[in-house]
Amino acid sequence: MSADQLPSWHESSAKQSIVDFVGAVTDQGSPDFVPSTERVAVFDNDGTLWTEQPMYTQLAFALDRAAELGRPTSLEELQAGGMAALVELISLTHADVTTEEFDAACRTWLASARHPRFARPYPQTVYQPMLELLDLLDHHGFSCWIFSGGGTDFMRTWAGEAYGLPPHRVIGSVGETEFRTGENGPELVKGAKIDVINDGPLKPSSIHRHIGQRPVLAAGNTDGDLAMLQWTAGSPHRTLELVVRHTDGEREYAYDRDPVLGSGNGQVLAAAAEHRWTVIDMAADWAVVHPPVS
């Protein structure tokens, strides 16, 4: 395998662990060989594949949409209200619309919204090294899936194109939808009830439901990804676990705890140390963070 397939990665142990793993599981002569039908790789999204600061992009969308709907709220109110306030905001801004209307609203917002620090469309805040990793895995017969706490419908409006994945491989939190026949024929209406908050121990359940196979590679960045990483590590095959650590205040952000929602990485870093999972040190391991602005 040519190392050139990961040009935005420095020649460090993180890159080497990826190259070694992909080489071993795709080599028919290796005891670690995994048939291509079982090469399943799962990725968290926010903070793992794209920038999640100064706030989750979907939260920025929800705040803008709440204001547009005449029900503005602030980040401070949200933080004071905790998870209940967040769920209320999501319900307000993501419900009582058809799936097609919601899709259109997301695309309209994404077309004009810009990241406050990087001054580029949010889909261009994806991590160039992770795009190269997705591409490398795809070329080696892996099927890559996203399992995120973000909303499935929101993600599918941009993630497919950004990551080169079909919509069925982009899975997140899911609200109920109601089938009805409206003026424009049959449609699905998004409801206020959230069926699955796709985080923590629910990630392995979602993986089981949506894929039905145990992954051999998992990548995450917070304790909400711990169960997904553990579930992957328990596979009978050789596996690779990746933990992205935000160490780069100059080119991106440096933090171990999300300032808005409070999610941290203490447990996942402890597990990484115990089980020798690969910690990706953004400042040390990545030659480039974001792709050139297109």
> Which residues contribute to the site for its own copies (CB under 8 A)?
37, 99, 152, 156, 166-168, 170, 174, 176-181, 185-188, 195, 201-202, 204-205, 208-213, 227, 230-231, 233-234
Q: Which is nearer to its own copies, 13 or 213 (CB)?
A: 213
What would the two tokens of residue 185 be? 């024929």
Q: Which is nearer to its own copies, 177 or 221 (CB)?
A: 177
Q: Work out how close the CB of 280 gets to its own copies at its nearest, in angstroms, rounded to a whole number.
A: 22
Q: Work out how close the CB of 50 gets to its own copies at its nearest, in angstroms, rounded to a whole number.
A: 19
In contact, 152 and 175? CB cutoff 8 Å: no
**Separation between Cα atoms, residue 94 and residue 197, nearest integer Å:** 14
- Looking at 26-118, list the stretches that DSSP marks H as alpha helix, in order from N- to C-terminal side: 57-68, 75-94, 99-112
Q: Which is nearer to its own copies, 177 or 247 (CB)?
A: 177
Q: Work out how close the CB of 271 gets to its own copies at its nearest, in angstroms, rounded to a whole number.
A: 11
* Adjacent-strand bridge partners of 177: 190
Q: Which is nearer to its own copies, 183 or 250 (CB)?
A: 183
Angle subtended at Cα 191 by Cα 74 and Cα 156, rounded to the nearest 5 degrees: 75
**Separation between Cα atoms, residue 29 and residue 115, nearest integer Å:** 47
Q: Work out how close the CB of 252 gets to its own copies at its nearest, in angstroms, rounded to a whole number.
A: 29
H/E segment holding residue 149? strand 143-151
**Separation between Cα atoms, residue 50 and residue 151, nearest integer Å:** 15
**Separation between Cα atoms, residue 6 and residue 22, nearest integer Å:** 12
Q: Which is nearer to its own copies, 93 or 198 (CB)?
A: 198
Residues 6 or more apart in contact with residue 265 via CB below 8 angstroms? 221, 222, 223, 243, 245, 256, 257
Q: Work out how close the CB of 42 gets to its own copies at its nearest, in angstroms, rounded to a whole number.
A: 12
Q: Which is nearer to its own copies, 75 or 189 (CB)?
A: 189
**Separation between Cα atoms, residue 171 and residue 149, nearest integer Å:** 9
Q: Work out how close the CB of 190 gets to its own copies at its nearest, in angstroms, rounded to a whole number.
A: 10
Report the candidate in 106, 191, 98 with the shortest Cα–Cα distance to residue 150: 106
